[in-house]
A and B are shown apart, each in its own frame.
Chain A
Amino acid sequence: DLQMTQSPSSLSASVGDRVTITCRASQGTGIYLAWFQQKPGRPPKLLIYAASKLHSGVPSRFSGSGSGTDFTLTISSLQSEDVATYYCQRYETAPFTFGPGTKVDLK
């Protein structure tokens, strides 16, 4: 199966900081890349699909970019409610592999 990696595995940042998370696919996946946010005890929530399209209701401080094998999720100004684990997922062809996750907390 295709592999997904994410970096960093965790990070600490202050409210208002710009946060960037990277996702890399072992093979090109076009723009078929989604980002999810998961808070403890809750199911994941879709943030971004097609690498850069914001899902309905997601705050505009979240943005995505990239294509092929390298993708980025950016939070332009971190808020306390953004403390969560973030996962990327490729969905060009099955299996739709997830990245290992990046845990974001407050400094």
Chain B
Amino acid sequence: QVHLVQSGTEVKKPGASVKVSCQASGYSFTGYFMYWVRQAPGHGLEWMGRINPNNGGKNFAQAFQGRVTLTMDRSNSTAYMELSGLRSDDTAIYYCARGITVLDYWGPGTLVIVSS
């Protein structure tokens, strides 16, 4: 059974960075991309980027180019998303989701609060 377990709530000050983890189980980690999607309070879904655990290849939405770092640790089937230069409008739930192209399983989300 596919499971994606994400790290817990983070509270950060403006200008700081946050690193969110997503540990996968129940499937071959290197067989699927790991995607990152965020949702600000009361808003819709925003596609951030994806990483290919097989070869490390990445794609990013233009809005996040240069500010998001996607990494992975194949040894423990974990993907990471680090967002730098945090602003108040980065307050959101950050989801990881696996997929080849279609995002078929999602993690529960990690709440990141940016506040001074």
Hey, which bits of chain A sit against chain B, CB under 8 A? 1, 32, 34, 36, 38, 43-46, 49-50, 55, 85, 87, 89, 91, 94-101
Contact = CB atoms under 8 A, between A and B. Distances in A.
18 contacts: A36-B45, A43-B106, A43-B109, A44-B103, A49-B102, A49-B104, A55-B104, A85-B44, A87-B44, A89-B103, A91-B101, A94-B59, A95-B47, A95-B49, A95-B59, A96-B47, A98-B44, A101-B45
A34 B102 CA distance: 7
Main secondary structure, interface of A, reads: loop
Contacts, number: 59
Contact of B44 (A45, A46, A96, A101): A101
Given A97-B47, A98-B44, A100-B44, A46 B62 contact: no
- Is chain B's binding surface mostly helix, strand, loop or mixed? strand
B48 to A, nearest CB: 9
A94 B104 contact: no
Nearest to A43: B106
B11 to A, nearest CB: 19
Given A94-B59, A95-B59, 5 more contacts: A46-B104, A85-B44, A87-B44, A91-B102, A96-B103
Top 10 A-B pairs, shortest CB-CB distance = A94-B59, A43-B106, A49-B102, A95-B61, A98-B45, A101-B44, A91-B101, A96-B47, A100-B44, A46-B104
Nearest to B6: A43
Contacts of B97: 43
B107 interface: yes
